[in-house]
Structure 1
């Protein structure tokens, strides 16, 4: 598998976790910063942050979430519930010989990071959220919410609902993993996303596929052919089921976290979002609620002209904001 030049001084490790094993890549010495990726990515999403955090005096560790890359991939769908991912994160901190860490996540990783901080404040002393705002547990059952997002005509289906049935999305993606990933990354990137008014790539037309709405023919500026080889190579080897199983546990998470409905995350926190990212525009109310839901928020930034893949689209700006925030945290 091609190795990224930005992590020449990083170390690949396998550590024990409730998943079985968790693969991580670490670089630097100092206070531990645990980096958690989203869908459909891997530790490689943090390739530009690992050396920057190391240079700033931190020990950065980017994991492959269970189901991804070289981490274990349990067979059971319910092995990917949020409580299991939190337990994996705690186990990684312990396996690295630390008692606490700052946890930073992007996309699904942001939700995993926030929940880790919520459930284990004894381990995670601060939390950074990229792209996906914090929304406390609670509210209506997720599957019911997503089922209603296609509109009254029901002519289209929200991608989260599309992902629910085991094997359905896999049948679309796995015959051409590389091409599908290229289209998915492009669909949510600022420089290649569909124009306003074009069919929304977060939805599937009835009888169609997600890929029908992806832009074609051009990679986003942050993604080289070599980068795409790395991502595609991992998913060609593992398949997409482990990654998709995260979506298939949202109702279980809703039930598992019932005792925490409405709970704020009180540790020092950071939020970085892309101004052109649907995650921030659709969830603008969640960002507005931060004085209540993230009372420890010490920095929040929306990056103009930026899409969903924040730390890859804007690595230098993300690194600056992230290291400044980390440096200002209490010891």
Structure 2
């Protein structure tokens, strides 16, 4: 079984707008900032840190605010995209690495895209894993998500947006809930086609009701790795992480003047063919010539689920390094 924490990394705390940002770094060279999603931490990049370091890059994986050892402000508005972008700018400036490359997964992909959109002087290129870029604008997010499920089921985002509700489900058994959530979105353990969709909640039910049987972990997730994730959330709770969902309508207001704006820096997209984030947002991928005009590399990994850099680390590392190496050559 893999060691639960990678070796040869340095843990640091740097000042940020909310207080502090915890980061883990390895290697030297051009700065590559790695931003995790929900419900993860810097640890989701444990396979990429040594690979990028070996390729000649300074790989830095952060804990987003609300996670791990980073600050955890109470107010929902503190988890707006503008605030999360400001944290990443603070990291880049503290490390003297501007302009940096930023790579994100899941919510981290959305944060990374907005880093590039809002602070192009700090971020020279952007990599998106699992969640494609969708420009600001359109209908209010809470109204869109409320319509999903056809009135008989509730979409998980709406479920997460109600303060305290998901915490009551998750926090009595953080480890068991995380195991089920990770399994529900992993290629080798996700529910079979035709089974109830784990992205939705039945009336009066919980998200956990649709998770796979708890006796089987995904191949990428050993007991030691699960212990790392569970230990972090048992200590911090889930409210900070869930507040990102609760801030979405605030983003909609904040970014109204950026409606339809493309991200023009050199970019990368990697998705999994079995990941709902990739399949449901197929229209966003098709729009990349307009929304990501600097796209240099785009790959959908066959048979891969949502946790792409952990499910298929060698492929992801190869694509990342090839793309990074291309950034200083003609596009």
Fold agreement, TM-score > 0.5: yes
Q: Is the 8 A contact 1:18 1:91 kept in 2?
A: yes
Q: What is the Cα deviation at residue 4 of structure 1? A: 3.3
Match of 1:229 in 2: 227
Distance in structure 2 (CA, Å) of the matches to 1:124 and 1:3: 33
| Separation in structure 2 between the aligned mates of residue 59 and residue 3 of structure 1, nearest angstrom | 22
| 2:209 is the alignment partner of 1:206 | no
> In the alignment, which of 321, 324, 328 is matched to residue 322 of structure 2?
324
Q: C-alpha root-mean-square deviation of aligned residues, in Å?
A: 1.0
Write the distance in 1 (CA, Å) between the matches of 2:169 and 2:275: 24
User: Paired residue for 1:104?
Assistant: 103
Q: Select 2:169's aligned residue among 168, 172, 192.
A: 172
Tell me the CA shift for residue 99 of structure 1.
2.2
**Which structure 1 segments of 5+ residues have no match?**
none
Q: Note the alpha carbon deviations across 1:190-210, whole angstroms, 9 max, x for none.
A: 000000000000000010000
Instruction: Return the match for 2:248 from 227, 243, 250.
Output: 250
Name the counterpart of 1:185: 182
TM-score (structure 2 length as normaliser): 0.98
Query: Deviation digits for residues 97-127 of structure 1, max 9, x if unmatched?
Result: 2221000000000000000100001000000
Give the match's secondary structure for 2:148: helix
Post-superposition offset of 1:150: 1.3
1:3 is displaced (CA, Å) by: 6.8
In the other structure, the counterpart of 1:88 is 87
Contact kept? 2:3, 2:224, Cα under 8 Å:
no
Give the alignment partner of residue 294 of structure 2, picking from 293, 296, 304. 296
Matches within 5 A, 1:61-72: 61-72=60-71
3-state secondary structure, aligned to 2:190: coil
Distance 1:19 1:159 in 2: 28
Residue 245 of structure 1: SS of its match in structure 2?
Answer: helix
TM-score normalised to structure 1 length: 0.98
Q: Which residue of 2 aligns with 1:36?
A: 35
The residue aligned with 2:120 is: 121
Match of 1:215 in 2: 212
Q: Deviations over 1:198-256 (max 9, x none)?
A: 00000000100000000012000000000000000000000000000000000000110
Alignment check: 8 A CA contact 1:4 1:47 kept:
no
Aligned positions, number: 327
Could you list the per-position Cα deviations for residues 13-51 of structure 1 after superposition, in whole angstroms to 9, with x for gaps in the alignment?
000000210000000000000000000000000000000
What's 1:156 paired with?
A: 153
In structure 2, list runs of 5 or more residues that go unmatched. Answer: none
Looking at structure 2, the residues matched to 111 and 77 of structure 1 have their Cα atoms a distance apart, in angstroms, of 17
* Deviation at residue 282 of structure 1 after TM alignment: 0.2
Distance in 1 of aligned mates of 2:318 and 2:217: 25
Q: Distance in 2 between matches of 1:164 and 1:42?
A: 20
* Displacement over 6 Å in runs of 4+: none
